[in-house]
Amino acid sequence: MDFATFLLFLISVLIIICFFFISSTSPSASKTPCPESYPIIGNLPGFLRNRHRFHDWVTDMLSQTPSSTVQVNSFFSHGICTANPINVEHLLVTNFSNYVKGSRFLNVLYELLGHGIFNVDGHLWTLQRKIASHEFNTKSLKHFISDMVKSEMANTLLPNLSKACDENSVFDLEQVLGKFTFSTICKVAFGIDLQTMPYLPFAKAFDDAVENCFSRFLSPFPPIWKLKRLFNIGSEKRFKEDIKTINEFAMEIMKSKQQEENSSERVAKNQDLLSRFMLLSSNLEFQDQEHKTKFLRDIIISFVLAGKDTTSTALTWFFWLVAGNPRCAHLIYQELSEVASPPDAEAVPEARTFSYDELKKLHYLHAALSESMRLFPPVAINSRLTIDNDVLPDGTRVGKGWFADYSAYAMGRMERVWGQDCRAFKPERWLDIDRKYQPCDQFRFPVFHCGPRTCLGKDLASIQMKAIAAAVMYEFEIVPVDGGASAEKMMNPPYITTLLLKMKGGFPIRLKRRDRDGYI
């Protein structure tokens, strides 16, 4: 803790002491359990003790309550957290209009996301949602998978992995997948080639900025970060610099689009998402050019947030789980071998990719991917703000202006939702009697969110993950340097507490090429 932070801490303590004297009794007289809560300081001691294992702490608390719902108190706010599917359905669908992003998001994420789709409600949200959903129809999806992912994999990812394999080198799979999925997103969303962009400084600034926003979210004393911002010191000073780098990157993208618009050789017209938004913004009324640029900037950053590390984070846990479960790894490989048509003599072995139709036949792989996201949802916890007093279906009372969180991570670990073996990696729970993939009730698996704000990229992300997992597992065996999922690690998984459930220290691995009898 540097001196400035310490000073701010002292100031906050003083504010809190004042608060102690003026505060009346707690507004909550409901029966909903509020574990580990102390007078005045609420859940703070438990939170501070468990910050490094935040999601498991939430899980522990939720599993001890009768309806997987707790009340959370801190100085500055009240709220509830749930892992109960009927409550989740209520928050995200039945009473959608009472649970908004509101100031809870806008306060902590404004500098990063502005008025982008993830940060707003009402008209601004409807408009962006409508345009973006054009991009995610089945036709563009098929195009995306068959052209983009397949050729990108054959040209960059697989040759890179092949090289690493031949050299027996250790590398961070999370990082390689992150770069690859982000570069495909840039093509789909913005129609740009990441190779031509200042990727590394941007990626670092973006990750740091997201982390700072998440610390703001979790901050037990929000005045601390607000004061730091006011005085431009410490983490908030770095954040400001990161935002500058991020804005430059967004401007770079806009500039390259404008150049493209101006060039006469443009063939594919308005194919990507950004072009659609640009076209639209030319029909919208803006106060001035600056507002228009800001509108587009917010859209660009939202799609970066949606696409940058979400699929790669999910895939990293998938490979980690599969490496620790050789039986499942074998079943996945067996299925891939059955679906892969006999190798044709012309094909380069390391460039075997799977087509859209082939991917649809991979039921076991699909099950294994869903199972890994059930246990390790990339967005582990999500949050809403209540507009008015309400009662959840399980009887929990929520007050006006409270936060209402739901934890997808905890829900995957609730015995009453998934049975006694809920903590085990069992792809079979997603297969029916004919070993065909069966989706489950969406409210038991809110990994892509549910209701009107369901993730637009859901199908796209699923297919992309499947395509990558299939191509990589068909050719290679993953050998984690520190071992994969073990029973012990499953009880205490190595993640870092940030907006996305990233693996702590990345995922260092080696690759081993598969022996294929009668092949080569």
Note the residues at the interface with ligand NAG (CB under 6 A).
94-95, 98, 156-157, 160, 176, 179-180, 255, 258-259, 262, 387-388, 390
CB nearer to ligand NAG: pick between 133 and 169:
169
Helix (H, G, I), strand (E, B) or coil at 166: helix
Cβ(38)–Cβ(46) below 8 Å: no
- For residue 148, the minimal CB distance to ligand NAG (Å) is 13
CB nearer to ligand NAG: pick between 76 and 199:
199
- The 3-class SS string of 351-394 reads HCCCCHHHHHCCHHHHHHHHHHHHHCCCCCEEEEEECCCEECCC
Cβ(242)–Cβ(265) below 8 Å: no
Q: What is the DSSP string of 254-294?
A: HHHHHHHHH-TT--S-S-SHHHHHHHHHTTS--SSHHHHHH
- The 3-class SS string of 438-494 reads CCCCHHHCHHHCCHHHCCCCHHHHHHHHHHHHHHHHHHEEEEECCCCCCHHHHHCCC
- For residue 299, the minimal CB distance to ligand NAG (Å) is 19
φ/ψ bin of 272: left (φ > 0), alpha (ψ from -120 to 50), beta (otherwise): beta
Q: How deeply is 297 buried, as exposed, middle or buried, from its count of CB atoms within 10 A (0-12, 13-18, 19+)?
A: buried
CA distance 141 to 188: 10
Q: How deeply is 82 buried, as exposed, middle or buried, from its count of CB atoms within 10 A (0-12, 13-18, 19+)?
A: buried
- Packing angle between helix 363-375 and helix 326-339, nearest 10 degrees? 140
CA distance 511 to 513: 7
CB nearer to ligand NAG: pick between 262 and 283:
262
- Closest-by-Cβ residue to ligand NAG is 388
- For residue 367, the minimal CB distance to ligand NAG (Å) is 27
CA distance 145 to 464: 7
- For residue 393, the minimal CB distance to ligand NAG (Å) is 8
Helix (H, G, I), strand (E, B) or coil at 70: strand
CB nearer to ligand NAG: pick between 12 and 183:
183
- For residue 392, the minimal CB distance to ligand NAG (Å) is 8
CB nearer to ligand NAG: pick between 180 and 409:
180
CA distance 425 to 490: 9
- For residue 153, the minimal CB distance to ligand NAG (Å) is 9
- For residue 252, the minimal CB distance to ligand NAG (Å) is 11
Length in residues, the chain = 520
- Residue type, position 476, single letter: F
CB nearer to ligand NAG: pick between 63 and 160:
160
- For residue 389, the minimal CB distance to ligand NAG (Å) is 6
- For residue 256, the minimal CB distance to ligand NAG (Å) is 8
CB nearer to ligand NAG: pick between 16 and 86:
86
Radius of gyration (Cα) for the chain, nearest Å? Answer: 24
Q: What is the DSSP string of 113-147?
A: HTT-TTT--HHHHHHHHHHHHHHTSHHHHHHIIII
CB nearer to ligand NAG: pick between 64 and 168:
168
CB nearer to ligand NAG: pick between 244 and 255:
255
- For residue 277, the minimal CB distance to ligand NAG (Å) is 17
CB nearer to ligand NAG: pick between 227 and 385:
385
CB nearer to ligand NAG: pick between 111 and 172:
172
Helix or strand (DSSP H, E) at 99 = strand 99-100
Q: What are phi and psi of 406, to 5 degrees?
A: -130, 140
CB nearer to ligand NAG: pick between 49 and 163:
163
Q: Which residues contact 11 (CB under 8 A, 6 or more apart)?
A: 223, 227
CB nearer to ligand NAG: pick between 140 and 156:
156
Report how many helices (DSSP H) and strands (DSSP E) the chain contains, helices first. Answer: 23, 10
Token pair in block for residue 372 = 């890994």
Closest CA to 8 of 297, 267, 158, 223: 223
- For residue 279, the minimal CB distance to ligand NAG (Å) is 15
